[in-house]
Amino acid sequence: MKINIIFTFLVLAALGLTISGCFKWAARAPDKLPETTALDNSYDYKGKVIIVGAGASGLAAAKVLEQNNIDYKILEATDRYGGRLKKNTTLADFPIDIGAEWIHSAPIALNKMKGKAGVQIEEELIPYHLEDTYTWDGTTYKKTAQSENDFMYNFLPESKFKNSTWYDFVNENIAATVKHKIQFNSPVSEIDYSGNKLLLKTKNGEIHSADKVLVTVSIGVLKSNHIKFIPDLSEKRKEAINSITFYPGFKLAMKFTEKFYPDAINCKVKSGEKGFYDIAFKKEAQSNILGLLVAGNSTEEYYKLNSADLIVKSAIAELDRIYNGKASETYTGEYILENWGQHQFTMGTWTQAFLHKKSELKTLNQSLDKKVYFAGEINDTYQQMGVPGAVLSGYHSIDKLLTNTK
């Protein structure tokens, strides 16, 4: 995650904050996490609930329904669960997250997501404190001062799972007890909430009825109008949906016979981000896997190539320019590429809710007539973002649904 270091120093100085005090101030801080979640409550709801989408937020909401023996099912558009969580076990000698990868929140967020008390976590994490990083603007390749790496780590101390992935975490702690309730290959195309019973149509012509619905699809899917709401969404809500930045992007992992690259290379881009990074960082792995994460305007130049092989070729050529042909020399020809920006049921990468107007976020969080509720990364009210934000929003929104709150 890139932040203009000098600007940040100035802002912090103006606010009179010390670096050690910064993380408390920053978004994703532990003190923004809820004391308890819906996992700690019991509910006596007699109606039928349908959850649209089996990503992290939909699965989390389902866990609460399962725990309380409430009648529910999950309609998932694709043939798998996890949404923007996905892992690959074939490219390297360690599992690779090809969707969400970093734990941006404080580790205690993992306990909150599991419904476990206390601050001691069970997972083994790698502190993402980089030591060898560079910047690249297309012509100049420059080492980053260690003080900048230290500052970034102190300001936003991120981590990664040591032998595991985000997908595994959600699979084991959240999906395990609810996956039998998922109906796959069922893209919802219409939600009619005009009557007492809600009617949901899927693209394959099925009609499902429910008393309440929780929609957990990405903001990209809502923007693309894949789902028709009857009555239509208000203009205010449409404006709020369209105001949210949801960058296109992809993640590429390439395998090499040698590690010729540093921990990370931050590439200069006009908007969004682009960076090469060592996916095996501190993993105790033998495989040399270099990632390329691109989100924002620079995605366009790759999308123009219109082929995964050509995207890889272009990435290797760029690395060759920096490392005098070393990338071509050591590339094994193996890669994985996940194009989230053009995936019909994702249509983008991630959102950063705290960058948007509170009024717009509030509009997105409101139910439609206390019948249709919304959860997912953008509905995170605890400023955690990413997977923790998505899971906690699942707990938050299902609580609202079960307690008939607007």
Ligand X SMILES: Cc1cc2nc3c(=O)[nH]c(=O)nc-3n(C[C@H](O)[C@H](O)[C@H](O)COP(=O)(O)OP(=O)(O)OC[C@H]3O[C@@H](n4cnc5c(N)ncnc54)[C@H](O)[C@@H]3O)c2cc1C
Minimum distance between the CB of residue 22 and ligand X, rounded to whole angstroms?
Answer: 20
Alpha-helix residue ranges (DSSP H) falling in 244-307: 299-303
72 versus 330: smaller Cβ distance to ligand X? 72
216 versus 383: smaller Cβ distance to ligand X? 216
Parallel, antiparallel or unpaired: strands 125-127 and 159-161: antiparallel
70 versus 188: smaller Cβ distance to ligand X? 188
**Neighbouring residues of 276: CB distance < 8 A, sequence distance ≥ 6:** 261, 264, 265, 267, 290, 291, 292, 315, 319
**Neighbouring residues of 88: CB distance < 8 A, sequence distance ≥ 6:** 95, 96, 98, 253, 336
Residues that bind ligand X (CB under 6 A): 52-58, 75-78, 83-85, 99-102, 104, 187-188, 216-218, 221, 226-227, 249, 251, 340, 345-346, 349-350, 376-377, 386-387, 390
92 versus 387: smaller Cβ distance to ligand X? 387
Minimum distance between the CB of residue 44 and ligand X, rounded to whole angstroms?
Answer: 26
Minimum distance between the CB of residue 140 and ligand X, rounded to whole angstroms?
Answer: 27
**Neighbouring residues of 329: CB distance < 8 A, sequence distance ≥ 6:** none
CA 47 from chain centre, in angstroms, equals 31
50 versus 327: smaller Cβ distance to ligand X? 50
75 versus 254: smaller Cβ distance to ligand X? 75
DSSP annotation of 172: I
85 versus 106: smaller Cβ distance to ligand X? 85
Q: CA torsion sign, 173 to 102 to 269 to 321? A: negative
Minimum distance between the CB of residue 382 and ligand X, rounded to whole angstroms?
Answer: 13
Burial 311-323 (b: 16+ CB within 10 A, else e): bbeebbebbeebe
Q: Which of 155, 174, 173, 159 is nearest to 97 (CA)?
A: 159
Q: If you write DSSP's letter for every residue of 309-364 in order, what string do you get?
A: HHHHHHHHHHHHHHHTTHHHHHEEEEEEEE-GGG-TTT-SS---GGGS-HHHHHHH
360 versus 377: smaller Cβ distance to ligand X? 377
Minimum distance between the CB of residue 142 and ligand X, rounded to whole angstroms?
Answer: 25
Minimum distance between the CB of residue 77 and ligand X, rounded to whole angstroms?
Answer: 4
Residue 15 phi, psi (nearest 5): -85, -5
At CA 386, angle to CA 385 and CA 390, rounded to 5? 85
63 versus 104: smaller Cβ distance to ligand X? 104
Minimum distance between the CB of residue 3 and ligand X, rounded to whole angstroms?
Answer: 16
Minimum distance between the CB of residue 226 and ligand X, rounded to whole angstroms?
Answer: 5
d(CA 81, CA 86): 9
CA 341 from chain centre, in angstroms, equals 13
Minimum distance between the CB of residue 97 and ligand X, rounded to whole angstroms?
Answer: 7
330 versus 382: smaller Cβ distance to ligand X? 382
Q: Measuring CA to CA, how many Å separate 60 from each of 113, 150, 366?
A: 8, 34, 19
Minimum distance between the CB of residue 379 and ligand X, rounded to whole angstroms?
Answer: 8
